[in-house]
């Protein structure tokens, strides 16, 4: 295999520096991968042994994809917060820095929080939650900026066995309300305000708006900016007041491996976002193991993942993965372009970051600003780079490798999903040569399979729909309150297999290349967006009769949002209305769902049976209308010319 690789032009060998002292060479990878599939019980028990178990599991694998019933380490008991904190403090690492907090403004002092201090903070929050009435199994909604208290809130829930549901701070009041309602959450933890590029985000204000639609028992408010907020008597409590005098001890709750740890809402091709449920034991083992091997973490190193804790990347690779591995993780409140486009590099330089993990969209945006911003800073501390969220185009990959990684940092292009809990396909830094644009090889225990639309298995170098044939410890177990939806969404297309929703190519070296979603989900700046969600937001507007939303290639965002809108009879379209509709979607869902284009049309292209022909709409949005394919089944083929004429992406 190695031979084929060397013959290829577009392949970047493992840098010599990445081989030195690596936790996993190619030989080790091959051996460990083989063992992980031949003897999953033995392999995963060994990985699990790095964690502290209150009761060691006797059962390791315990799952079926038909019928769908997924369990791992079934009879084990543990607490993930104790594994992230207490374990390290007990091992004498209390003085090791757990979190470095870099605030929005470079003029605000940073904070370094040791494992011992973080444990004390988490205990205080945990006891405060108990005082508020939170019990094991209760759902707690967290709506926080990127400040250490966000991580503290998550870990405090985990400590007492409450199930957290983190809602990204960029989501709208409606989105918060929907999520609170769906998981019947009686408690909210938020901050007064967040800061992003010196702008204030009214977090508590948004919670207040949301709570006009749904009600909760209590809201715990962390003071961050000191901005003015309204407090509702009896319902809202300031954290710094309410936590006064709580106990300084709080024993971690003994959780069954299969007790839920968190719910995280994610978009799909139909309906409202699904509350994906992750449980405790398998997720703990998966995030610790993937963090350790993918980033080849070495004690003393500073690791920085630029994601937000509101996404799964933040859950697994800011909080649970790095902390369980005893790493020093940087948490950044701000944005890449404030105060200037060099902020990421300034922060890498300031904190001597060794491992840097970000999204292709950020790389593309910063690349566009020119190399001078990078050159200004000493990035020699960087040893390893990572990307996540969407396919990376080889041009951006090369720029990242050359300018940020000074031509000797391996890049791990990690493919995974909210539902997978952690990395699934990625090269390992000391083991695998890299191919720019390819995620690479399956992680231990991951069995990818490509199938055609009828489910026939495709062998060898080929392209198809990406399925995973066996369970892995970090796999989501269900959709909150709707197990049938879980089964239908992931296991019904290809019975007995987990279907990822992604298209994928496998090359002659068995490297995997993710080609993007094959369902009605689009990927905007690494964030998953259901086109159906945007459509339902649009039709809620009183002047809109119907809409169809598709993605189109976007230089920076990966994909942009293109909306076709039909107005109610008699309503005249104009630019003002397009602007109003754009704002409407922003307030209904959040700024990440802002449409790039809104094209008005007297009707949508439908088959005679009434099905919208999205293929045609996608082509027109891509500005590729030369080959629309067969349009003869359309009820009104004449619509198409008008759509082409009025196209907005030229």
**Minimum CB distance to ligand WT7 smaller for 239 or for 491:** 491
Among 33, 171, 332, 416, binds ligand WT7 (CB under 6 A): 416
Instruction: Between 389 and 448, name the residue whose CB sits nearer to ligand WT7.
Output: 389
Would you count residue 51 as binding ligand WT7 (CB under 6 A)?
no
Q: Which residues are annotated binding-site positions for Mg(2+)?
A: 539, 541, 544
Strands 512-517 and 498-506: antiparallel
Among 379, 388, 617, 621, binds ligand WT7 (CB under 6 A): 388
Q: Considering only 220-228, 457-465, 495-503, 582-590, which stretch makes contact with ligand WT7 by CB under 6 A? A: 495-503
CB of 467 to ligand WT7, least distance (A): 12
Give least dist CB 183 to ligand WT7, A: 18
Q: How far is the CB of 516 from ligand WT7 (least distance, A)?
A: 6
Which of the residues 63 through 92 are near ligand WT7 (CB under 6 A)? none
Min CB(276)–ligand WT7 separation in Å: 8
d(CA 515, CA 391): 7
CA dist 152 and 161 (Å) reads 14
* Known binding-site positions for ATP: 389-391, 413-418, 502, 517, 528
Tokens 């449920």 belong to residue = 277
The sign of the dihedral angle between the CA atoms of 23, 27, 30, 34 is negative
Nearer to ligand WT7, 185 or 266 (CB): 266
465 binds ligand WT7 (CB under 6 A): no
Tell me if 391 contacts ligand WT7 by CB under 6 A: yes
Q: Which member of 185, 243, 279, 414 binds ligand WT7 (CB under 6 A)?
A: 414
Binding residues, by number, are 196-199, 313, 337, 389-391, 413-418, 502, 517, 525, 528, 539, 541, 544, 586
Strand, helix or coil for residue 404: helix
Give me the least distance between CB of 255 and ligand WT7, in Å please: 24
Binding residues for CoA: 196-199, 313, 337, 525, 586
258 vs 502 by CB, closer to ligand WT7: 502
Stretch that binds ligand WT7, among 161-169, 325-333, 415-423, 596-604 (CB under 6 A): 415-423
Select 36 or 313, whichever has its Cβ closest to ligand WT7: 313
Q: Among residues 275, 254, 272, 239, which one has the least CA distance to residue 124?
A: 239
Sheet of 260-266, strand order: 236-238, 218-222, 187-191, 139-143, 163-166, 260-266, 274-279, 478-479
Other beta carbons within 10 angstroms of residue 607's beta carbon come to 11
Name residues contacting ligand WT7, limited to 499-528 (CB under 6 A).
Answer: 500-502, 514, 517, 523, 526, 528
* 508 phi and psi angles, rounded to 5 deg: -70, -15
CB of 11 to ligand WT7, least distance (A): 18
Judge contact between 405 and 437, C-beta under 8 A.
Answer: no
Q: Contact at 8 Å (CB) between 419 and 266? A: yes
End-to-end CA distance of the chain: 44
| Nearest-approach distance from CB 423 to ligand WT7, in angstroms | 8
Q: With contact defined as beta carbons under 8 Å apart, do 473 and 479 qualify?
A: no
> Applying CB under 6 A, does 308 fall inside the site for ligand WT7?
no
| Angstrom distance (rounded) from CA 541 to CA 76 | 50
Least distance to ligand WT7, CB of residue 252, Å: 27
User: Using the rule CB under 6 A, is 551 a contact of ligand WT7?
Assistant: no
Please select the residue that binds ligand WT7; options are 94, 389, 436, 448, rule is CB under 6 A: 389
Q: Is residue 256 near ligand WT7 by the rule CB under 6 A?
A: no
Which residues, including other chains, have CB under 8 Å from residue 241's CB and lie 6 or more apart?
none
Q: Compute the distance between CA of residue 392 and CA of residue 357 in angstroms, rounded to an integer.
A: 13
The residue range among 179-187, 298-306, 389-397, 582-590 that interacts with ligand WT7, by the rule CB under 6 A, is 389-397
Q: Which pair of structure tokens corresponds to residue 58?
A: 């006797």
- Sketch the per residue contact string, 428 through 447, with ligand WT7: x for CB under 6 A, - otherwise: -----------x--------
Residue 577 main-chain phi, psi, to 5 deg: -65, -40
Contact 165, 256 (CB under 8 A): no
Query: Phi/psi at 119 (nearest 5 deg)?
Result: -60, -45
CB of 332 to ligand WT7, least distance (A): 17
- Given 3-state DSSP classes, what are the helix, strand and coil percentages for the chain, each rounded to the nearest 5? 30, 25, 45
Q: How far apart are CA 563 and CA 537, in angstroms?
A: 11
Handedness of CA 494, 497, 503, 507 (dihedral sign): negative
Total residues at interface with ligand WT7 (CB under 6 A): 23
- Write out the residues near ligand WT7 by the rule CB under 6 A: 266, 311-313, 388-391, 413-418, 439, 500-502, 514, 517, 523, 526, 528
């Amino acid at each position: 295999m190695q031979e084929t690789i060397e013959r290829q032009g577009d392949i970047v060998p493992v840098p010599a520096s990445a081989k030195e002292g690596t936790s996993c060479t190619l030989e080790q990878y091959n051996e460990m991968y083989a063992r992980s599939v031949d003897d999953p019980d033995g392999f995963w028990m060994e990985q699990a042994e790095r964690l502290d178990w209150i009761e060691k599991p006797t059962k390791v694998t315990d799952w079926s994809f038909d019928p769908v019933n997924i369990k791992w380490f079934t009879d084990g008991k543990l607490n993930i917060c104790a594994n992230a904190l207490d374990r390290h403090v007990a091992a004498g690492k209390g003085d090791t820095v757990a979190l470095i907090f870099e605030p929005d403004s470079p003029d605000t002092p940073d904070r370094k929080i040791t494992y011992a201090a973080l444990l004390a903070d988490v205990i205080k929050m945990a006891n405060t939650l108990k005082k508020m009435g939170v019990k094991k199994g209760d759902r707690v909604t967290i709506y926080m900026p990127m400040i250490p208290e966000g991580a503290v809130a998550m870990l405090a829930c985990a400590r007492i066995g409450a199930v957290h549901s983190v809602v990204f701070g960029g989501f709208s009041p409606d989105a918060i309300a929907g999520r609170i309602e769906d998981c019947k959450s009686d408690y909210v933890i938020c901050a007064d305000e967040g800061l992003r590029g010196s702008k204030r985000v009214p977090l508590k204000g948004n919670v207040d708006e949301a709570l006009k639609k749904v009600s909760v028992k209590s809201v715990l408010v962390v003071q961050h900016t000191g901005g003015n907020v309204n407090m509702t008597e009896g319902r809202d409590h300031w954290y710094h007041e309410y936590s006064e005098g709580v106990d300084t001890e709080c024993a971690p709750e003994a959780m069954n491996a299969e007790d839920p740890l968190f719910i995280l809402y994610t978009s799909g091709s139909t309906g409202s976002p699904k509350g994906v449920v992750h449980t405790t034991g398998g997720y703990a083992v998966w995030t610790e193991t993937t963090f350790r091997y993918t980033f080849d973490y070495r004690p003393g190193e500073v690791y920085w993942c630029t994601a937000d804790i509101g996404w799964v990347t933040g859950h697994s690779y800011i909080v649970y993965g790095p902390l369980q591995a005893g790493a020093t993780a940087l948490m950044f409140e701000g944005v890449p372009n404030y105060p200037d486009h060099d902020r990421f590099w300034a922060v890498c330089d300031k904190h001597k970051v060794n491992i840097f993990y970000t999204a292709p969209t950020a790389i593309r945006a910063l690349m566009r600003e020119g190399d001078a911003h990078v050159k200004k800073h000493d990035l020699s501390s960087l040893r390893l780079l990572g990307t996540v969220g969407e396919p990376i185009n080889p041009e951006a990959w090369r720029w990242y490798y050359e300018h940020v990684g000074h031509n000797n940092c391996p890049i791990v292009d990690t493919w995974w999903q909210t539902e997978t809990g952690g990395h699934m396909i990625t090269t390992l830094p000391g083991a695998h040569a890299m191919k720019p644009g390819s995620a690479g090889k399956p992680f231990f225990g991951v069995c990818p399979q490509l199938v055609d639309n009828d489910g026939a298995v495709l062998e060898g170098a080929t392209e198809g729909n990406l399925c995973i044939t066996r369970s892995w410890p970090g796999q989501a177990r269900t959709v909150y309150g709707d197990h049938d939806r879980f089964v239908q969404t992931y296991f019904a297309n290809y019975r007995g297999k987990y279907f990822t929703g992604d298209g994928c190519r496998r090359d002659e070296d068995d490297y995997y290349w993710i080609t993007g979603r094959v369902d009605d989900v689009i990927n905007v700046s690494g964030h998953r967006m259901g086109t159906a969600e945007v459509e339902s937001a649009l039709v809620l507007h009183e002047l809109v009769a119907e809409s169809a939303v598709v993605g189109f290639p976007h230089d920076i965002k990966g994909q942009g949002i293109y909306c076709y809108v039909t107005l109610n009879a008699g309503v005249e379209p104009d630019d003002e209305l397009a602007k109003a509709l754009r704002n409407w979607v922003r307030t209904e869902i959040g700024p990440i769902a802002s449409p790039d284009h809104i094209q008005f049309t007297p009707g949508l292209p439908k088959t005679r049976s009434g099905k919208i022909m999205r293929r045609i709409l996608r082509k027109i949005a891509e500005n590729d209308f030369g080959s629309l394919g067969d349009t003869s089944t359309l009820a009104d083929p004449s619509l198409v010319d008008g759509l082409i004429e009025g196209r907005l992406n030229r």
